[in-house]
Structure 1
């Protein structure tokens, strides 16, 4: 009787580690989104980048579903959740973050402001799962919010800027999309969750992309094409496959901790690819938020 129990207990840490590893692959893919968006906007309108990436990813998702002979649409009972995912990660995050970068928010600055994303995702998970975290969780969330608020105010003479408000919208949008996607991925493979989301969005993204492609100027350059291809194929589709699978396999509380590395990875990409410089205040703010978010991830259960 004792032997099966030992086997079951040893399997749980293995599954959790696999989930964390899968989630980190997703984070690694997402970490290049901001630099790629900046590259894409060198040749394409910000609205075209935000909507067009979803349209191209939707065509890829539709093809994958047809090749694997899976249903093109999810059960109707799940459509509200898919609508929330679509509003969060198909429209909200790409549009808000792209406009913020277009208005002058540097890649490093955007990475620091969105460093609260793991905490925001945890808050959404708490609300959706009706959990009751300890007071330490809320204290850490508050401290992280204060750190980000202080950072943004010191960067803009004591008042928030439009890019910061847009990045806040991007943060909230992504948190909602991540949470709903993780919930669905418990019963549906992660690649199907993001594929169904993109396919359901195609009736909006495809015609909007066609109109924007005609109405806005386009400059074809290797950097612009590469950046657009990255945000469409990797950030909008491929990255979600291991990300949702990791959250489902390892749990939001454990696998979600891999998001702590995303701001630092983005800072590295910004420095390596774009030569972007960031001062001590950016590094201090990033480290402070990482500490706060780490506490929330450990204290939420």
Structure 2
């Protein structure tokens, strides 16, 4: 892939225009990859300390990003891009994984999915506040309806744990805010640099911190090695932190952060399905009904965006 054909023309993405062709599909692919991140994180913290999960989740993809950028012959970003890239990196590779790992030591992945259901709304709000996007009032109403359906469903499931809040819930909410801010900043740079370059430079910018931190964790931690913990760690580092963001940033940049971001309302439903499959949770038919309702509202939101 060359640098020229990976950059998204910022003029093609307007504040009030609809998603460009492929934006919704790329966003859906990113959501599918992200949907297994919480179960994978739960696996990873079975054998690694949450701090070690955070460090290696940034270090491994950061080291992989170097040859990717070299192969692309990607130019070094301009001075104005680095504040966005560094802040997005701190949010996506430090804030979210650290806080979500802490949360998953005390709450179930399905309960974490309830809180993560706030992500599309927070992303749209941050895009309006910092990304200069102005979705219509009908768009906000449809998005809010999808969020209400999602939370109403998830909070009725036993695995979600009800509405009583604890330290793990607060940590997961902080992680969700970090992720939303990273989406806005990273997608903004993806319009200029290209989606792969935006994420790769974000991870490379953190290497001065992640390399020494990774060395320290090797000496201070005694991991409990297992197939599940290693699989979870590798999935978080390679699939969720690297490949998933290639698709996700491209989708947000092409179709608009607020609009394509609403596709993520489907992610908690998918996470609950993964939790049922890998954690032996009960999966009732209501899951499919709620998923269909949320998917329909997301489709209406996308149609409203195209208007």
Is 2:41 aligned against 1:37? yes
Judged with a 3 Å threshold, the aligned counterparts in structure 2 of structure 1 residues 240 and 208 are, in CA distance, closer, same or farther, namely same
Decide which structure has the larger Cα Rg and report it.
1
Alignment check: 8 A CA contact 1:58 1:201 kept: yes
Which of 73, 77, 95 in structure 2 is aligned with 1:74? 77
User: Which residue of the partner structure matches residue 51 of structure 2?
Assistant: 47
Alignment check: 8 A CA contact 1:23 1:258 kept: yes
Is 2:117 aligned against 1:115? yes
User: Which residue of the partner structure matches residue 4 of structure 1?
Assistant: none
Alignment check: 8 A CA contact 2:123 2:258 kept: no
Superposition TM-score, scaled by structure 2 size: 0.80
Superposition TM-score, scaled by structure 1 size: 0.82
Is 2:87 aligned against 1:84? yes
2: CA distance between counterparts of 1:232 and 1:136?
A: 38
2: CA distance between counterparts of 1:282 and 1:161?
A: 25
User: Which residue of the partner structure matches residue 208 of structure 2?
Assistant: 203
Q: What is the RMSD computed on CA atoms of the aligned residues?
A: 3.3
Alignment coverage as a number of residue pairs? 287
Which of 190, 196, 207 in structure 1 is aligned with 2:195? 190
Alignment check: 8 A CA contact 1:58 1:195 kept: yes
Q: Deviations over 1:8-67 (max 9, x none)?
A: 9xxxx9973411111111111111101111111121111101111110010000121123
User: Which residue of the partner structure matches residue 175 of structure 2?
Assistant: 170
Q: Which moves more between the two structures, 43-52 or 228-237?
A: 43-52
Note the C-alpha offset of 1:199.
Answer: 0.3
Alignment check: 8 A CA contact 1:23 1:247 kept: yes
2: CA distance between counterparts of 1:225 and 1:156?
A: 27
Tell me the secondary structure at the aligned position of residue 191 of structure 1.
helix
Structure 2: gaps (5+ residues): 1-11
Judged with a 3 Å threshold, the aligned counterparts in structure 2 of structure 1 residues 100 and 277 are, in CA distance, closer, same or farther, namely farther
Which of 253, 257, 270 in structure 2 is aligned with 1:248? 253
